[in-house]
A = this chain, B = another copy of it.
């Protein structure tokens, strides 16, 4: 998606340790127009997978997931990292290592909103090693749901998260694929 690639080139900052800072349009400040365009693009890419629900992880996955849900006409569930008091005692929970947090986080979904028979599309801001997305896949599996697609705004292809997802037979799409990044600049994967 050219609009997203351009924005990454203009405003993305490589801050070392494999981390791309995109806080000016995704992770802290959000560009609603860009998110809406991304949602349309996800809807186009996943039009034929008959997803019944989108699953994402708080926090930065919410904006692209809700945009995609709007254009696909399906609800979104965001996995919580802390169990709120409104959630029942019995929950679906998995642990996931967070690269940017440097520790393990919990991903929690209420069985009220993720159940057997659902066809789940996972949407997140980044696809890097794929650890968070694998956590979401485990949650869907515990619920008895089927994961039919994974979409990310930005993929770091050099962290190879896609390989494992595709080996599970999952349809993977990302809107900007970064092949390498360093102080010298960002190189996109030529598709």
Contact = CB atoms under 8 A, between A and B. Distances in A.
Given A59-B59, A84-B100, A85-B100, A76 B32 contact: yes
Contact of A70 (B36, B100, B112): B36
A24 interface: yes
Interface residues of A, number: 42
Given A24-B113, A36-B70, A30 B84 contact: no
A134 B96 CA distance: 34
- State the oligomeric state as a number of copies: 2
Contact of A30 (B28, B33, B66): B66
B113 A28 contact: yes
A24 B112 contact: yes
A138 interface: no
5 contacts: A32-B69, A32-B76, A35-B70, A36-B70, A85-B102
